[in-house]
Amino acid sequence: MASCLNSLLMTHRSFTNLLYLGKRAFTILNRRSSRLPHVLMGAQHIASQAESGFKPSKVAVVTKMTRYEFEQQRYRFSELSEEDLKQLLALKGSSYLGLLERHNIHTRNVEHIVESLLKEGIEVRLVKRGEYDEETVLWADAIISAGGDGTMLLVASKVFNKDQPVLGVNTDPERSEGHLCLPVRYTRAFPEAIQKLCRGQFRWQWRQRIRLHLEGTGINPTPVDLHEQQLSLEQHNQAHRITLMEAQRSEVDSLSKPYLLPVRGLNEIFIGESLSSRASYYEISVDDGPWEKQKSSGLSICTGTGSKAWSYNINKLVEQAVEEVLWIGKAKTGLEIPVTQDLIEKVTDEYNRSLVFGPEESRMFFSIREPIVNRVFSSSRQRGFANRVCVRSRCWDACMVVDGGTSFEFNDGAIATITMNEEDQLRTVLLEN
């Protein structure tokens, strides 16, 4: 992040853009109200009032793995007793009682969801994240993600029917943000949420998602699931080697046409070397433009839903950077710009809000992280909107990660085509507090 900001301060283009923004600041100061963020405008545009109530007959409730369960599973082959686990966690500086308490809170809230559904005569299938599969998706009329945003992203990645609703319930709101979930008060008042659904007192929200086609030499379209595993780099590489052997046995890698990967990205796609200290080398074409050789810390491509997440933090400016650029601009141009704290805050806020757009918008936002620019490698655009992005890997040990949870091998010769399709929209629910 720091080097991204330093690069912005050092480039002439960024200096000019921010200087221009500084000139506009006089107008900003006199505004009585600023424009709404794209995400709010989009919600008003696409979120439609339900024409009738919605009461599914079959619901799959997919639950997260708590940290307590993860630690138990991690040492299951060592046959540790609970007392042994408690001492081991203490040695690592973790609280056994704290993890158990959060686990119990999650469990009680999951039970509350299931009991509420059963009282309404709805058939329920309770599924752990590791057991969530295509058969479960096909069985359910609707799917409830019981966890946080990570669980919601996993659930969404396997849903391909845009008419199948997906709801998120934050089962530990004190420790999880849950941007993609229902308002936190419904965690303990889930029967009220069900009643509102039945009466049609909600709005549908369709969220655009990213699809990926993979082609090229030696491609491996078999995913490695990162959701249930905290993998070391070597374990991650080993998992990809295993899936590559499976792909070679199935002869998928010999396909001549692009292969559509079996997941959809709700937040973002990230492409880069597995070892973060190694520069990622690739070629990129945006909207069928010329191919450009690049080296960077990786490439992120997000949806409107993901524009408030990782992509936002990659690209946002801090007030310190804006203040320094405004002072430089004032000194170089002689403009009488009143560099006040109020101006700095408003300029920073307006720039950062321009990075956010609506979840229903059928466009993507790409970000080149810390590009290396010299006589060999270039970066004509460090960020921007796109409808189609093609990336050819020149990496040694890279991966393409969907929503931080599903990893695909992406090494030299592999080509990814990243697009959106109306058929990939995800149907979610908007409930008022």
**CA dist., res. 428 & res. 207, Å (int):** 7
Q: Is 69 helix (H, G, I), strand (E, B) or coil?
A: helix
Q: Span 195-201, mean pLDDT?
A: 92
431, pLDDT greater than 70: yes
62, pLDDT greater than 80: yes
Quick one: pLDDT at residue 90? 86
Lowest mean pLDDT among 37-46, 108-117, 138-147, 223-232: 37-46
CB 26: neighbour CB atoms within 10 A?
Answer: 12
**CA dist., res. 104 & res. 163, Å (int):** 34
Q: Span 72-88, mean pLDDT?
A: 80
pTM of the predicted protein model: 0.80
pLDDT tens-digit series, residues 145-170: 999 999 999 999 999 999 999 999 99
Burial pattern 201-227, b for ≥16 Cβ within 10 A else e, equals: ebbbbbbbbbbbbbbbeebbbbbbbbb
pLDDT band at 234 (very low <50, low <70, confident <90, very high): low
Quick one: pLDDT at residue 46? 54
Quick one: pLDDT at residue 85? 84
What's the whole-number average pLDDT of the chain?
83
pLDDT band at 86 (very low <50, low <70, confident <90, very high): confident
Burial pattern 88-116, b for ≥16 Cβ within 10 A else e, equals: bbeeeeeebeebbebbebbbebbebbbeb
* Among 314, 411, 421, 317, CA closest to 366: 314
- Which two tokens mark 249? 């046995």
- H helices of 141-283, where? 149-157, 185-188, 190-199, 233-250
Quick one: pLDDT at residue 238? 56
Q: Span 201-208, mean pLDDT?
A: 94
